[in-house]
Chain A
Amino acid sequence: MESDKRLYLLGNEAIAYSSVEAGLEYASAYPGTPSTEILETLAKLSRKYNFYVEWSVNEKVAFEAAYGAAIAGVKSLVAMKHVGVNVAADPLTTSAYTGVNNSFVIVSADDPSMWSSQNEQDNRYYGLRSYIPVLEPPTPYHIKDVVIEAFKLSEKFRHPFILRSTTRLSHIRVSYEFNEPRRDIHRGPLDIDPARYSVIPAHARRLRVDMLARWSEIERYFNDAWFNWVEGDGDKLIITSGFSYSYVVDAISKLDIGDVKILSLSGMVPLPKKLVLEAVEDVDKVLIVEELEPIIETHIKSLLYDTDVRVEVVGKEIIPLVGELTLDKVLDAIAKWLELDIKSKDLNIDENLPVRPPAFCPGCPHRGTFFSLRKAVNRSGVKPIYSGDIGCYSLAVLPPFKMQDTIVDMGSSIGLANGFAHILPEEYIVVATIGDSTFFHSGITPLLNAVYNKSPILVVILDNRVTAMTGAQPNPGSGYDAGWEETIKIDIKKVVEGLGIEYIAEVDPFKIRESEKIFRDAVEYVRRYRRPAVVIAKRACTLLIAAWARRRGIEIPKYDVDVDKCIKCGICYNNFTCPAIYPDDEGIAHIDPALCVGCGECLDICPTKAFKPVSEWSDEFKSLWW
């Protein structure tokens, strides 16, 4: 859509383009909102600019792969969402001890307000507690400069750097000027020094001392770096961390409050103490604006105490601890700080409006799987505990399904099920539901544990061939690599067999009746033999298949309702809730042809067989499902 010179890019795309300009040679990631588009974009650029990219199996592996590449002497990047860093925390912590032989940039995309996440952890803490410096662009216009700086400084100090982004920065769209990079690809050094990279205790004790020395050097550098600056004048000072600067400058221009001094810290970990002390000289009061945790606030308060500087400092007393910052919140806080008479605003949503939470897409195979699974479990006369997991299928937590009693972290469906299974009385059945990508990420080890410890659980692997929630990225089961080139396809059934599972079945989620029977048999097996069983529900993500069909001009089949047969029972729109099916004022079901994707799941759920195909599946359409 854009002209050649100026691109209009998503923040994550800008991070990717900037990395290429910085000379990136190796990139790995595991998809997770809001980080996914970084590696997706790099995958598209990798051939032209001759660097390596991969979707790794999880964040720990992605981290180690990029870390290894940086030890081997190339400029590398790893990208993940904030909670992904927890998975990678083990190598991350020690990477600061060893350092690297070139640039190693760790992109952490945090999710304040938890738009797509289970918590809103602030990963500046990872930098602080691991001695890894943190850079965060102060505005969308600084993305390129800060990314390139992260690569430069990482190379200069031979030390990992965290580039922190947030949902709003990763998913902002902004103009970007791309400069063709000079590519001098090199392969790493021939010697990797074991005294530095084999972290046995004797080496580690010395490495820790070296690391602390580097940390002091980096702090000194941050005091004078271009990305930490003071602007404006006056006796009132606002200190900002990273992206919160953008809200503060916009708020100040709206408030018309005269002179305010701003200290903008885009490199805030380690805290540039000298710069902070200079900035607070001659001011009467200080406001610290940072999203989420009081990280610089805590350090600045302690610094001022230690240096005996007396000045009023306000932070989390008026800056919300919960949720992302907005211009409105920052306006309110500054008004409060300066005792201005400004009324805070509210969206005041009309109470008569229905909520609209996300739902399974029309034709989503998960809807069929949960529908038949619920029927099977209910008819078995057992009490279910549904141990859920992270992916599109988390949406089964909502009505009408309510089949995710727990969702904690990647792979926790099987992990927690191990605990439930040995504690709950026998009238219960523990059902773990996990997607294909999540299974590869963190489901294999807890399933092995279930076999070894004979945990009586039913594990349902919802295999839709891709990592769907984040926009359909290929994974080890897809048969495609990050650039959608064919590669080895891992058969989940064989993996499960290899782990020692003795009862394995497969279902087609579109065939509701058949699936229900197979699920019932599996429940019976778990109850009788007190061993784990696995059912693989296999159907590609319909959203992806429909998109492919449209792109290739293949007709998408449609279904319709024979209204004379409809008895207004509401099963299709109240219990099955396909978004393509809706009731008219009298309760008769209809199908919206604009939404129907012809999955045919409705055929099996209607007691009077009122649904009928308008057009059959063509051979071409059939061939898209893999």
Chain B
Amino acid sequence: MEYNILFAGVGGQGIITLGRLIGSALTNSGFNVLMAETHGLSQRGGSVTVHMRVGDVNSPLVPLGGADLLVGLELIEAVRNLGYLSRDGVKIVNDYIMRPSIPKIEIPSREYLINKLREGGGDTYITSFTEYALELGDIIYTNVIILGVITSLDIIPGLTRDSVIEVIGRLKNKEYNLKAFNIGYDIVGEIKMI
């Protein structure tokens, strides 16, 4: 068995924490999971990816065209990493754009990026998870909402609702994080891109 996930986002968005929550939940359930992280210089607001491989694997990096799931915390970064996705791979993407801190930079339109997402892979789940998080009171809850979506889709082998709730229960701000998780868990039906 082998299941590959690529997380893409911007340094500082909490991509590693999201990966750790999934990895810990799987580890506690006895599954083998490797996660390759980006630390150091590249974390300061630059493009970052986290590679996660579940199952009988030894090496850390997801092969190109080998990801069963792409989790994009930001639109530009999600599109940048579409090449990792397998033909029928699932996409969960935050409809949120962060402008790179570069003088006079021009960025593609939201419509352009969303159309790109239509081109590759299988089902796409997209909404502004950031807005849901801000409604809860802090942008920080974005990733736990996404975790709710991932869990609800029941696509990662071994990742159960109970195992995820157990690791969320060990976070600070347990109450709000559980609320965030449930929001994600419940909105899946509404956010599938047609």
Residues in A neighbouring B171, C-beta threshold 8 A: 1
How long is the Cα–Cα vector from A348 to B79 in the complex, in angstroms?
11
Q: Is the Cβ of A327 less than 8 Å from the Cβ of B24?
A: no
Chain A CB within 10 A, most for which of B27, B42, B100, B116: B27
Q: Is the Cβ of B101 less than 8 Å from the Cβ of A578?
A: yes
B167 within 8 A of A: yes
Q: Is the Cβ of B80 less than 8 Å from the Cβ of A172?
A: no
Q: Is the Cβ of A140 less than 8 Å from the Cβ of B34?
A: yes
How long is the Cα–Cα vector from A115 to B116 in the complex, in angstroms?
28
How long is the Cα–Cα vector from A246 to B61 in the complex, in angstroms?
11
The 0/1 profile, CB within 8 Å of B marked 1, for residues 459-474 of chain A is 0000000000111000
Residues in A neighbouring B35, C-beta threshold 8 A: 172-174
Write the residues of chain B forming the contact surface with A, with a CB cutoff of 8 angstroms: 10-12, 19-21, 23-24, 27-28, 32-47, 56-65, 76-77, 79-84, 98-108, 112, 116, 134, 139, 167, 170-171
Residues in B neighbouring A171, C-beta threshold 8 A: 36-39
B38 → chain A closest CB, angstroms? 7
How long is the Cα–Cα vector from A470 to B44 in the complex, in angstroms?
11
Given A168-B60, A173-B20, also A575-B103 (CB < 8 A) = yes
18 contacts between A and B (CB under 8 A): A1-B20, A1-B171, A6-B28, A8-B20, A139-B59, A140-B60, A173-B34, A174-B35, A175-B27, A246-B58, A345-B64, A352-B108, A353-B79, A353-B108, A354-B107, A356-B46, A392-B44, A395-B41
Given A33-B40, A173-B20, also A354-B63 (CB < 8 A) = no
Q: Is the Cβ of A399 less than 8 Å from the Cβ of B103?
A: yes
Residues in B neighbouring A172, C-beta threshold 8 A: 34-37, 60
Residues in A neighbouring B33, C-beta threshold 8 A: 8, 173, 175
Q: Is the Cβ of A361 less than 8 Å from the Cβ of B102?
A: no
Q: Is the Cβ of A353 less than 8 Å from the Cβ of B80?
A: yes
A350 within 8 A of B: yes
B31 → chain A closest CB, angstroms? 9
Residues in A neighbouring B21, C-beta threshold 8 A: 1
Q: How many residues of A contact B (CB 8 A)?
A: 65
Instruction: Report the 9 A-B pairs with minimum CB-CB distance, sorted nearest first.
Output: A33-B40, A116-B40, A358-B46, A358-B44, A347-B83, A246-B58, A345-B64, A173-B35, A359-B101
- Mostly helix, strand, loop or mixed at chain A's interface? loop
Given A116-B39, A172-B35, A400-B103, also A6-B27 (CB < 8 A) = yes
Residues in A neighbouring B38, C-beta threshold 8 A: 115, 171
Residues in B neighbouring A10, C-beta threshold 8 A: 37
A346 contact from B20, B64, B81, B82, Cβ within 8 A: B64
Residues in A neighbouring B42, C-beta threshold 8 A: 115-116, 358
Q: Is the Cβ of A3 less than 8 Å from the Cβ of B41?
A: no
Q: Which of A524-543 contact B (CB under 8 A)?
A: none
Q: Is the Cβ of A346 less than 8 Å from the Cβ of B83?
A: yes
Residues in B neighbouring A469, C-beta threshold 8 A: 40-41
Q: Is the Cβ of A174 less than 8 Å from the Cβ of B102?
A: no
Q: Is the Cβ of B46 less than 8 Å from the Cβ of A357?
A: yes
Residues in A neighbouring B12, C-beta threshold 8 A: 361
How long is the Cα–Cα vector from A346 to B82 in the complex, in angstroms?
11
A249 within 8 A of B: yes
A546 → chain B closest CB, angstroms? 11
Q: Count of A-B contacts with CB under 8 A?
A: 175
How long is the Cα–Cα vector from A327 to B99 in the complex, in angstroms?
32
A259 within 8 A of B: no
A326 within 8 A of B: yes
Q: Is the Cβ of A345 less than 8 Å from the Cβ of B20?
A: no
Residues in B neighbouring A173, C-beta threshold 8 A: 19-20, 23, 33-37
Q: Is the Cβ of B40 less than 8 Å from the Cβ of A34?
A: yes
How long is the Cα–Cα vector from A116 to B44 in the complex, in angstroms?
11
Q: Is the Cβ of B44 less than 8 Å from the Cβ of A574?
A: no
How long is the Cα–Cα vector from A3 to B27 in the complex, in angstroms?
9
Residues in B neighbouring A8, C-beta threshold 8 A: 20, 23-24, 27, 33
Chain A CB within 10 A, most for which of B10, B61, B65, B104: B61
A349 within 8 A of B: yes
How long is the Cα–Cα vector from A171 to B16 in the complex, in angstroms?
11
A15 within 8 A of B: no
A617 within 8 A of B: no
How long is the Cα–Cα vector from A395 to B102 in the complex, in angstroms?
12
B163 → chain A closest CB, angstroms? 10
A78 → chain B closest CB, angstroms? 20
How long is the Cα–Cα vector from A331 to B64 in the complex, in angstroms?
11
A380 → chain B closest CB, angstroms? 23
A213 within 8 A of B: no
Residues in B neighbouring A358, C-beta threshold 8 A: 11, 41-46
Q: Is the Cβ of B100 less than 8 Å from the Cβ of A355?
A: yes
Q: Is the Cβ of B134 less than 8 Å from the Cβ of A594?
A: yes
Residues in A neighbouring B77, C-beta threshold 8 A: 356
Q: Which of A360-383 contact B (CB under 8 A)?
A: 360-361
A484 within 8 A of B: no
Q: Is the Cβ of A356 less than 8 Å from the Cβ of B40?
A: no
How long is the Cα–Cα vector from A34 to B47 in the complex, in angstroms?
18
- Which B residue's beta carbon lies closest to that of A550? B140
A250 within 8 A of B: yes
Residues in B neighbouring A37, C-beta threshold 8 A: 39
Q: Is the Cβ of B59 less than 8 Å from the Cβ of A327?
A: yes
A328 within 8 A of B: yes
Q: Is the Cβ of B103 less than 8 Å from the Cβ of A327?
A: no
- Which A residue's beta carbon lies closest to that of B62? A327
A32 → chain B closest CB, angstroms? 9
Residues in A neighbouring B170, C-beta threshold 8 A: 1
Given A3-B28, A115-B38, A327-B61, also A354-B102 (CB < 8 A) = yes
- Which B residue's beta carbon lies closest to that of A175? B27
A557 within 8 A of B: no
Q: Is the Cβ of B64 less than 8 Å from the Cβ of A116?
A: no
Q: Which of A570-594 contact B (CB under 8 A)?
A: 570, 574-575, 577-579, 582, 594
Q: Is the Cβ of A115 less than 8 Å from the Cβ of B41?
A: yes
B170 → chain A closest CB, angstroms? 5
Q: Is the Cβ of A356 less than 8 Å from the Cβ of B47?
A: yes
Q: Is the Cβ of A168 less than 8 Å from the Cβ of B61?
A: yes
How long is the Cα–Cα vector from A407 to B167 in the complex, in angstroms?
43
Chain A CB within 10 A, most for which of B19, B36, B59: B59
A247 within 8 A of B: yes
Q: Which of A158-197 contact B (CB under 8 A)?
A: 168, 171-175
Q: Is the Cβ of B79 less than 8 Å from the Cβ of A139?
A: no
